[in-house]
Amino acid sequence: MLRLHLLSSPATAQKPNQNPSQFLSSQLLSRARVFSTNTFGFAPSPILSRKRLSLKCRQSEYFDQQRTSTAASPNKPSPSPPTPAGATGMAPRFYVGHSIYKGKAALTVEPKAPEFTPLDSGAFKLSREGFVLLQFAPAAGVRVYDWSRKQVFSLSVTEIGSLVSLGSKESLEFFHDPFKGKSDEGKVRKVLKVEPLPDGSGHFFNLSVQNKLINLDESIYIPITRAEFAVLKSAFNFILPYILGWHAYANSIKPEDSSRANNSGLKYGGDFEWSR
């Protein structure tokens, strides 16, 4: 008690009604304030401004330097993300086909797209319907086929419809002259016959080609089972609207275009039967 009194300023007189313990507490509080405000730095003063601590991230400085260097050299090409396959500005093209291999011949079926002609208005008009190309190749050995001797036959839209509607016991025959209406008309004859197998398990596809220009007379036939013929029919049914070019028209239809035509009262393509 005496030591604290020596370090302190002159003692404050004790109030008459204050007990010794209260007096001691007040004296200790007063000494504590002295220690907090002394010049020897035992404890920082609460009234002094506290020094703010800051934490620097070296990684942020690195990215700041990278941004600064990039801005200083604008002519430097920046790395571009990899371009996905097929994203070259043009729609990718796909080539498909279906092949049937038998002991004496092979048959490959490939769809061919229609052709469109651009108009002055910017639209396109169908100029040629698509078709399905049949390629017959004779066998040159066991599971070996001579495609250099192949013969081709193009099925039109109507001929595809005839094949699709062919019954299990029905037959049909197509005749083609590639030079019809030209000076060599009649010199090349192609006949495709589709006939039911004797046991009713499928059809025979027989292509006969007579070419007087190169003195060729060849016939290639291949049996097609009922299951294989069902696959061909399904493929023909699916591809038929695309061969007609109707998919391009369907993709070009917009809801606002049809609503605008209905609101304006325009009659596209002549009078509609149901509007008369």
DSSP string, 171-223: -EEEEE-TTTTSTTTTSEEEEEEEEE-TTSSEEEEEEEEEETTTTEEEEEEEE
Whole-structure pTM value: 0.62
Domain count, the chain: 1
Q: Is 92 helix (H, G, I), strand (E, B) or coil?
A: coil
From the list 164, 157, 182, the residue with the least C-alpha distance to 244 is 157
DSSP string, 9-39: SSPPPPPTT--HHHHHHHHHHHHHHHHHT-S
- pLDDT for the residue 255: 76
CATH of the domain at 145: 2.30.31.10
Q: Is there a domain that residue 118 lies in?
A: yes
- pLDDT for the residue 50: 53
Find all residues with CB under 8 Å of 51, minimum gap 6, and list them: none
Q: Is there a domain that residue 182 lies in?
A: yes
- pLDDT for the residue 40: 43
Longest dimension (CA), the chain: 146
Q: Is 107 helix (H, G, I), strand (E, B) or coil?
A: strand
Q: Is there a domain that residue 108 lies in?
A: yes
Tokens 């690195």 map to which residue?
62
Q: Is there a domain that residue 155 lies in?
A: yes
- pLDDT for the residue 43: 45
Q: pLDDT tens track of the chain, all 276 residues?
A: 444 444 444 444 445 555 555 555 555 555 544 444 444 444 444 444 455 555 554 544 544 555 555 454 444 444 444 444 444 567 788 889 999 999 999 999 999 999 999 999 999 999 999 999 999 999 999 999 999 999 999 999 999 999 999 999 999 999 999 999 999 999 999 999 999 999 999 999 999 999 999 999 999 999 999 999 999 999 999 999 999 999 999 988 877 765 555 555 555 455 556 655
Q: Is there a domain that residue 88 lies in?
A: no
- Two tokens, residue 64: 């700041």
Q: Is there a domain that residue 212 lies in?
A: yes
Structural domain span for residue 227: 98-252
- pLDDT for the residue 263: 57
Q: Is there a domain that residue 16 lies in?
A: no
Our measurement of the distance from residue 7's CA atom to the centroid of its chain's CA atoms, rounded to an integer in Å, reads 87
Q: Is there a domain that residue 80 lies in?
A: no
